[in-house]
Structure 1
């Protein structure tokens, strides 16, 4: 009769899990034995991370790109606390991730055994669902529940605690999986037809309707439907930081709106709108500039979201359309089969060019350390349309989100926006590579972020994955310092020592490229991307406080 650990691995294989990202520990010996020695385990690639947070970020990036649940695991005690940040990010970013923690035996519960921790209480605030499998017969059913909850409705993170005696004891429970829980979205709920009728009527009645597209476009894989609807109805599309690139280079794409990478003219267009079609986005603080845009609350809102509880939160909604975004956009297209708005595409293009001009003038700047605009322009020059950019939330995030040219609709941009955790990009490129092995995968990080995950460079070398990491090296938490300067012209607690990260990378087994002039940047990046293995490009970059014209609205401090 199989033990609980074998039942766990069989359950993962039944859910078509191909990769598990994790870290070994005392409590996980039984799980690792099942992964190494069973037939089901042979179907799964275990990816050893250097800490549990890195494993969770790998699973998150894998899930975002593949449309399949990402799976991460770690041991008890500190392993559980380290897994927490990634599950919190995935849950609030609507990413289907299943977190597994082995833990101390049930029979020792409450006795103060080393690393004992109430994992269900710990993970309750940051997951959709979590449980403890206190008997081996419960393992298959709880695994099914973890995958169902992670992928159903509004996706998110789930967590399952697995005591050592549960994994060691025998079980005869049946192992099976629902095919629907192996991909996301599981189902595509259809909106009530009357809500689509009302939404179409309000859009047709408006003079200047605008679409605000959120991360739900990626979750629903509704890229084609969004672009077709926008270009048919001739509606401008503003993107949030989580939907960057969703509509590609459509003439109706406005780019990012709001704070942190927002384009001024895109915000102007949103303010001018008399109706906003919110497509898979929450009414959150960033794209609304802390709920200040649109300013007068007179703008009508048509809100489409798979989660009915998200509709009407913060802004009064004229028409609520609860359902899958792809289905809803197809339904609206059936009801609106031609242009409905007074927007002029040529006027929008002129606004875009006027906004872009001062940045374009710096695309070939010879300043060194490098200007951020040159950093983006060089990437535009070197990388192709298949590239996947995985960005930490510092300097690279707003500059690349706003200025990089995403030509093909789809998911080519990953960044942790729910909680802005540093250290996402380097482990994230691992998950991105396994999800999309034929793509060019580039991680964008700062030296501040890299300091939180330096050990993950060894992971890249050991796995020999063909990914590139670009390091913005300015010897400080530059983005935070720029915010301090904007807030009260001070600088405190943001500087650290210099390092040659190309040399560090080379010591750990990567190809390291150190940029020593503006003219050498593009060549170094091209060599790194062409290298058949992991590479790192160390780019000395101008600290943001040294730049006179950092867009102030990108640096607004939180309230």
Structure 2
């Protein structure tokens, strides 16, 4: 008769899980024995539990499956927490698991004991402790249902050691509807859709803002087709940058971070805003000033009804799946466009991009980030995947990189903005997108947190290229300090040769000494048969003019 650990792994396999990202520990011996005795799924050993959670997060964002991560008790559970919280707040379906001390030792002060359920209650969509072996498959199925249905999010299960060791005859099967996401596609009521279509038809300057929900619904092509049918400019949030590719109606990112000035102007000109899959948070709205509440009529479509009307008075609520909603709206509005002149949108774009042309070719050393973006774009294929840390790389690539294909080619952790996401996240990306180029965009501050995962790259021979923006500082924070209060403290650190460090891990390292060298070095790194890293000296944010980040300006 199988034990709980074997049933756990069999249930994962029944849900067509391909990868489990995790770290071993004393409480996980039975679980790892079960992993070792099967061939249906691949266990990816990370170098710490936070990295494992980031790997699962990025894998889920780029595939149509939940990401799976695991770790041991005690510190394993606390380390893993950061990544699980990021996934949950970013509406990413992740099933996280931790093994734990035997039930009979609870409340006796045994090593690594903590209340995992209480720890994870505030950072997950659903969370439980599995206290009997016969509960393993049922509660794991529940975790898959909870993580994929409605607004996706993170779930967590705690497995005491004795439960994994106990034998059970519990039936193993999958909830096939929850093995991928979204499992269900509810459509808003017809009267709501008709009201939204009428508002759009009556509007003079309607504008779309598409958020991260476009990814959860896999609605990239449908939103692009709708925008081109009606002639609507589509602004994107930081997490949805590039989602409709090079459509003439894509105006790029709006808001505080990584935005385009003309895109913000277009949002302020709107008399009607069609919000698609966005929580209407502080970043893309410039702290709810763009637009101010009441400045435009709002139509809000979202899978999570509680998000609708949360921060803006909303005229029409469209709770439902984004793809189904947009398809239905397209059928109702018919051929009423174009509402905006695409030539006007292109002219605004051209005028804005000219501000950066000199920086794209600048020979400055340290390099301007704009030069890095331009040269990277000239090397990478159209379907390349960029995984970014939330610091220096993010505003430049989100704003300036020329995404051409609809879909998700840009991944950044913006719910909590933890440093150290890109390098481990790229592991999940490579597993989800084995036939695409994967690039991790890391600040040097982030490298100091997650650089040990280069050993994972080398051990698994992953074809990932890391670009390290090397400016010897937590440059984002330094810019904020100087901008707000005119000081700089606790943000600078020693310069490192990251290429030499990469070589020690068995990763091909390239160190750039001049602006002219970067494109060739990046091309060579991309062509490496295995992992590679390019160390690029870049200017710190406080020294750069025209930074595409509004929050660096002090509030009035």
Of 397, 402, 415, 1:405 maps to 402
* 2:121 is the counterpart of 1:124: yes
1:235 equivalent in alignment to 2:235? no
Matched, 1:294 2:294: no
Partner SS state of residue 390, structure 1: strand
- How much does 1:262 deviate? 1.1
Query: For structure 1, which segment, 547-556 or 246-255, has the greater mean C-alpha deviation from structure 2 after superposition?
Result: 547-556
Q: Does 1:372 align with 2:338?
A: no
User: Which residue number corresponds to residue 11 of structure 2?
Assistant: 11
Hey, what does 1:152 align to over in structure 2? 149
- Post-superposition shift, 1:555? 2.2
Q: Equivalents in 2 of 1:262, 1:545: separation in Å?
A: 18
Determine the C-alpha separation between the residues in 2 that align with 1:558 and 1:62: 37
Distance 1:166 1:556, change over 3 A: farther
Match of 2:84 in 1: 87
* Structure 1 residues 100-119: Cα deviation after superposition (integer angstroms, max 9, x where no partner): 10000011111111000100
In 2, distance between residues paired with 1:150 and 1:206? 38
Q: Which moved more, 1:392-401 or 1:351-360?
A: 351-360
> Structure 2 length normalisation: TM-score?
0.99
Aligned partners of 1:362 and 1:373 also within 8 Å: yes
* 8 Å contact from structure 1 (residues 280, 304) kept in 2: yes
1:136 aligns to 2:133 (yes or no): yes
More deviation in 19-28 or 358-367?
A: 358-367
2:329 to 322, 332, 335: 332
SS at match of 1:361: helix
Partner of 1:526: 523
1:469 equivalent in structure 2: 466
Give the aligned partner of residue 495 of structure 2: 498
What residue number does 1:75 align with?
72
Aligned residue for 2:23? 23
Report what 1:308 is aligned to.
305
Report the RMSD for the aligned CA atoms in angstroms: 1.2
CA distance in 2, matches of 1:91, 1:416: 11
Please show how residues 61-460 of structure 1 align to structure 2 within 5 Å.
61-295=58-292, 297-340=294-337, 342-460=339-457
Distance (whole Å) between structure 2 residues aligned to residue 550 and residue 70 of structure 1: 34
How far residue 387 of structure 1 moved from its aligned partner, in angstroms, is 0.3
Give the match's secondary structure for 1:454: helix
In the alignment, structure 1 residue 35 sits paired with structure 2 residue 32: no
Report the Cα offset of residue 361 of structure 1. 2.1
Q: Which moved more, 1:508-517 or 1:360-369?
A: 360-369
- Deviation, 1:295, is 2.9
Quick one: distance in 2 between partners of 1:480 and 1:90? 23
**Correspondence for 1:546:** 543
Q: Structure 2: how far apart are the matches of 1:533 and 1:338?
A: 50
8 Å Cα contact 2:130/2:139 also seen in 1: yes
- Contact 1:398 1:554 survives alignment (8 Å): no
The corresponding residue for 2:56 is 59
Q: Deviations over 1:253-283 (max 9, x none)?
A: 1100000111111011000000000001111
Please list every run of 5 or more consecutive structure 2 residues that lacks an aligned counterpart in the other structure: none
CA distance in 1, matches of 2:117, 2:286: 35
Per-residue displacement from partner, 1:316-347 (whole Å, max 9, x unpaired)? 10000010000000000101122346422111
Distance in 1, matches of 2:407 and 2:486, equals: 40
In structure 2, distance between residues paired with 1:203 and 1:415: 32
Q: Is the 8 A contact 2:396 2:548 kept in 1?
A: no
Supply the distance in 2 between the matched residues of 1:190 and 1:268 (Cα, whole angstroms).
32
Q: SS state of the match for residue 444, structure 1?
A: strand
* Aligned length, in residue pairs: 556
Counterpart contact for 1:260–1:555, Cα < 8 Å: no
TM-score, with length taken from structure 1 = 0.98
User: Is contact 1:472-1:541 (8 Å) kept?
Assistant: yes
